[in-house]
Amino acid sequence: MHEYAVTKSLISIAVQEARKAGASKITDIKLVIGDLSTIVDESVQMYFDIISEGTIANGARLIFKRVPAELCCKACGHRFNKPRQGFTCPLCGHYGVPTGVGKEFYIESIEAE
């Protein structure tokens, strides 16, 4: 459910920035979302379609760019993308810990007319 609040803020920021640039219509919004952010693309899209009605963002295309979660092995220091299951280092078999990469959620760009 946190996607509602996040999407509402996303629209507010996009509309504010587009208006500052003198735009009357937003056509595309590129989002960067880390796999550890717990943001679900489909939920953001659903809320966007509803909340953006009546704004200059209505009808804009959302472009989702996913960032894989990165781990660092506690034993050998190897950095690797988190496997689908578990946290095991592909080099030595020990456990990796999150590096912070993969928690992103931000607007990378806004296209407007």
Question: Which tens digit of pLDDT belongs to each residue from 41-86?
Answer: 999 999 999 999 999 999 999 999 999 999 999 999 999 999 989 9
Residue 94 has pLDDT above 80, yes or no: yes
Known binding-site residues for Ni(2+) equal 2
Which residue ranges form the domains of the chain, and what is each CATH number? Answer: 2-68+100-112 (3.30.2320.50)
> Among residues 106, 103, 78, which one has the least CA distance to residue 92?
78
Q: Which amino acid is at 15?
A: V
Known binding-site residues for Zn(2+) equal 73, 76, 89, 92
> Among residues 80, 71, 68, 72, which one has the least CA distance to residue 35?
68
Average pLDDT rounded to a whole number, residues 94-105: 96
Residue 1 has pLDDT above 70, yes or no: no
What angle separates helix 2-20 from helix 41-51, to the nearest 10 degrees? 60
Residue 90 has pLDDT above 80, yes or no: yes
Known binding-site residues equal 2, 73, 76, 89, 92
